[in-house]
Amino acid sequence: MTKINNSQVVYAMDAANEAVMKVPSGSEVIFETCDCFQNQITSESQSVDSVNWEQINPATGPLYVEGAAPGDVLKVEIIDITIADQGVMAAIPGAGLLGDQVTASQIKVMPIENGMARFNDKLSLPVTPTIGVIGVAPKSGAIPCGAPGSHGGNMDNNKTKTGSILYLPVRAEGALLSMGDLHALIGDGEIMVTGLEVAGSVTVRVSVLKDRKQQNPMLENDTHLYTVASDEDLLKAVRAATENMHQWVMAETGLSFNEAGMLLSAAGSTEICQVVDPLLTARFGLSKDILKALQ
């Protein structure tokens, strides 16, 4: 199968980036990815100061999908995610929600074996591989891979995993899909700025949708549909994700403004992806069974 090597990375999503591969809509592609430190950290004896911060959040790509044009939506089916056999975390003064109280930096390396990440002698945690950074090129300018936005990017959405389908609004010819920043584990919020950061590879199927319109990323899995939005202000991100879902429900079901709002108020789910990146990311979830019942 077609594969993009993890030496082919970008540090910003940009319509001016040269595509490393072109494929037709409907193709399956493997993205081999570095961890968010570009695999610079391999042991706990390393200092955080040894990290070259110019090489942070590399995203493998970009992939040009033939036929994708501004105004379309790129459907990204996540077929498989495999991860390396150890992951890395860091505590860094000034970074994250507790950063003002972190007095010394620390690297933590967690071995991963048989689907379990070893936190310490007493605790191993079952891993759930997810994609932290995945997005398309914006219409103009360069957005660092460390930032989320309406193009996707560093959403750190732990619903972005095997079996999920991500829908990204296309802004540039060919979409220019890139991804990286896999996590073996990441909690809602990612409060210390790292999840369990891990190298790996992602198999996706990419398809161009001409009849779907979106302002922001959406995601679905077996049970739920999610809208995803990012903003400097978390409440504004929540509001944008909520409005996106509200509009979707009205369009799909024919419910009135008030009825759709009451439905989301009764049965919707306001959730947080991350609260530590340059913009904060929220998602709004709704059961697909509810949508099916109303269609």
Residues at the interface with Ca ion (CB under 5 A): 36, 132, 154, 156, 181
Closest CA to 217 of 276, 263, 154: 154
Estimate to the nearest angstrom the gap between the alpha carbon of 281 and the chain centroid.
10
DSSP assignment letter at 138: -
In order of 90, 107, 117, 130, 272, the CA distances from 124 in angstroms are: 18, 18, 5, 18, 25
Q: Nearer to Ca ion by C-beta: 214 or 281?
A: 281
Q: Nearer to Ca ion by C-beta: 46 or 247?
A: 46
Q: Which 3-state string (H, E, C) describes 8-68? A: CEECEEECCCCCCEEECCCEEEEEEECCCCCCCCCCCCCCHHHCCCCCCCCEEEEEEECCC
Q: Find the shortest distance in angstroms from Cβ 199 to Ca ion.
A: 12
Q: Find the shortest distance in angstroms from Cβ 156 to Ca ion.
A: 4
Give the strand pairing for 59-65 and 21-23: parallel
Q: Nearer to Ca ion by C-beta: 225 or 276?
A: 276
Residue 13, exposed/middle/buried by CB under 10 A (0-12, 13-18, 19+)? buried
Cα separation, 273 vs 175, in Å, equals 24
Q: Nearer to Ca ion by C-beta: 148 or 268?
A: 148
Cα separation, 240 vs 73, in Å, equals 18
Q: Nearer to Ca ion by C-beta: 33 or 242?
A: 33
Q: Find the shortest distance in angstroms from Cβ 266 to Ca ion.
A: 33
Give the strand pairing for 2-4 and 27-33: parallel
Q: Nearer to Ca ion by C-beta: 156 or 271?
A: 156
Q: Find the shortest distance in angstroms from Cβ 148 to Ca ion.
A: 8
Instruction: Return the bridge partners of 196, or none.
Output: 185
Q: Find the shortest distance in angstroms from Cβ 218 to Ca ion.
A: 19
Q: Find the shortest distance in angstroms from Cβ 181 to Ca ion.
A: 4
- Name the residue whose CB lies closest to Ca ion: 132
Q: Nearer to Ca ion by C-beta: 14 or 181?
A: 181
Give the strand pairing for 218-220 and 165-169: antiparallel
Cβ count near 289 (within 10 Å): 10
Element (H, E) at 225: strand 224-231
Q: Nearer to Ca ion by C-beta: 68 or 182?
A: 182
Q: Find the shortest distance in angstroms from Cβ 61 to Ca ion.
A: 16
Q: Find the shortest distance in angstroms from Cβ 37 to Ca ion.
A: 9
